[in-house]
């Protein structure tokens, strides 16, 4: 049924649960996984750079976010490989929901497995809104892990 699973991750506890579910799904269907972390591209606010007394604040922030992405994806890859699942990983830069949908299409994924941080109807976190946007735009099924 599924041959290629896209697993967007933000490194959170709930994303790790979705990663585990994706690995189990991949085992069941003998599928492969591609882990994806999207580094949101944002322009540093000059006042923020000034507050940090660093003219290279934006560059430092970008390096930090890139480093975190590498760690998140290495953790996913190691978990998948330990379970016997083939796992490739990619880092994208841009608007998260757009990059997730683009990656699924570009890579020929059959399903996207991702977490939502929603705790109740009043709690609309960033990932929740990204999950909703991915679900609305995706041409492949989106398995949402609560």
Residue 74 has pLDDT above 60, yes or no: yes
Q: Mapped to the 3 state alphabet, what secondary structure does 45-56 carry?
A: CHHHHHHCCCCC
Helix segments in 30-137, DSSP class H: 46-51, 57-83, 96-107, 126-137
Q: How confident is the model at residue 57 (pLDDT cuts 50, 70, 90)?
A: low
CATH of 4-145, one of 3.40.190.10, 1.20.58.340, 3.30.420.340, 3.40.50.620: 3.40.50.620
Average of per-residue pLDDT across 36-62: 69
State what percent of residues in the chain have pLDDT above 90: 69
Q: What is the pLDDT of residue 123?
A: 47
Average of per-residue pLDDT across 109-113: 98
Angle ∠(38,42,45) on CA atoms, nearest 5:
150
* Sequence spans of domains, the chain: 4-145
């Amino acid at each position: 049924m599924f041959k290629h699973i896209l697993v967007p991750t933000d490194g959170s506890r709930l994303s790790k649960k979705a990663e585990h579910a994706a690995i189990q799904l991949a085992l069941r269907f003998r599928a492969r996984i591609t882990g994806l972390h999207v580094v949101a591209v944002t322009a540093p606010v000059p006042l923020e750079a000034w507050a940090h007394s660093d003219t290279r604040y934006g560059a430092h922030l970008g390096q930090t976010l890139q480093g975190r992405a590498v760690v998140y994806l290495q953790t996913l890859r190691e978990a998948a490989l330990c379970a016997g699942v083939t796992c490739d990983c990619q880092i994208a830069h841009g608007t998260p929901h757009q990059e997730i949908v683009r990656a699924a299409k570009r890579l020929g994924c059959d399903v996207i497995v991702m977490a939502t941080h929603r705790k109740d109807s009043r709690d609309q976190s960033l990932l929740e809104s990204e999950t909703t946007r991915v679900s609305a735009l995706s041409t492949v099924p989106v398995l949402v892990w609560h």
